Amino acid sequence: MDTVLLQKEAGIAAITLNRPHVHNAVSMELVDELHHVLADCQADSQVKVLIITGTGKSFVSGGDLNQFIAARGHDQAYPLLSKVAGLLSAIDTFTKPVIAMINGAAVGGGCEFAGACHFRFASEQARFGFVQIGMHITTGWGGGSRLLDMLPESKALALLLAGERLTAQEAKSYGFVDEIYPHDQLQAAVHAFAKKIAAQPLEGIEAYMQLVRWKREGIVRAERIEREVDQCAKLWGSPAHVAVVEKFLNKQ
């Protein structure tokens, strides 16, 4: 059974984690497969937006316990945690937008995985929770740092320190989830949003994703503005740009 399914259509790459027997737990092999899929989508100029979801009742349940529970102490745990953190950083910094279509439970590492995506759309049946603290550990894939960047500090700390499980509506009230849909409408709603992005030119999409990366890198706003102007200037006057302007002028 393929653990990662990839389907491309009309500029959208739909990526499905396919380990329902372990609630789509993240194994080292799954990490390798996802890196391969990301590289494929990066190289494909027809792909403009990615959607990641899970098979069955879970989005991502966390780390594969068969691999992670065997680790004892820092020297054994660090390589495992670091490898998954590297994958989530690759998603977080991907040059094309990545949408988490959260079909079910996203608890522990599942929340960290969802937080690495640029958008989070959830089924009303989805459940969330940064439950690591109750397990005598912390977020280990970079999810806590991303959460502190994403939400007001007090809200992020409340999620991390209380370790509570949340409904989709509660996660949305914190600002972690963007939109909630009835379970049977989730796929259609997410794909409708993705189609709006896929209808746009790739060079513009990648340019705006570059603005996000510059901000996250801590580049001061004045420098980011200068780079933004430079990006636009490089696109200005291209045949595609001129064609759109001329079409507009002809309508006038």
Burial class (CB in 10 A: 0-12, 13-18, 19+), 162: middle
In the predicted structure, residue 67 carries a pLDDT above the cut 90: no
CB 19 within 8 A of CB 65: no
Could you tell me the sign of the dihedral formed by the alpha carbons of 10, 11, 12, 13, in that order?
positive
Give the count of alpha carbons within 13 A of 188, CB side only. Answer: 5
DSSP code for 163: -
In the predicted structure, residue 66 carries a pLDDT above the cut 80: yes
Could you report the per-residue pLDDT of 165-223, keeping only the tens digit for each? Answer: 999 999 999 999 999 999 999 999 999 999 999 999 999 999 999 999 999 999 999 99
For residue 167, give the H/E element and its range.
Answer: strand 166-167
Closest CA to 186 of 129, 127, 125: 125
Closest CA to 109 of 81, 76, 90, 86: 81
Report the pLDDT value the prediction gives residue 1, as an integer from 0 to 100: 64
CB 224 within 8 A of CB 211: yes
Report the pLDDT value the prediction gives residue 180, as an integer from 0 to 100: 98
Say what percent of the chain tops pLDDT 70. 99
Could you report the per-residue pLDDT of 14-34, keeping only the tens digit for each? Answer: 999 999 999 999 999 999 999
Residue 50 dihedral angles phi and psi, to the nearest 5°: -115, 145
In the predicted structure, residue 35 carries a pLDDT above the cut 90: yes
Tokens describing residue 48: 């403009």
Q: What is the C-alpha separation between 71 and 232, in angstroms, rounded?
A: 49
Report the pLDDT value the prediction gives residue 37, as an integer from 0 to 100: 97
In the predicted structure, residue 252 carries a pLDDT above the cut 80: no
> Residue 33 CB: number of other CB atoms within 10 A?
18
- Which residues does residue 75 pair with via DSSP β-bridges, in sequence order? none
In the predicted structure, residue 64 carries a pLDDT above the cut 90: no
Report the pLDDT value the prediction gives residue 12, as an integer from 0 to 100: 98
* Mean pLDDT calculated for residue range 52-60: 96
pLDDT band at 118 (very low <50, low <70, confident <90, very high): very high
Task: Please provide the average confidence, as pLDDT, over all residues in the chain.
Answer: 95
Tell me the residue ranges of DSSP E strands in 25-92: 49-54, 58-60
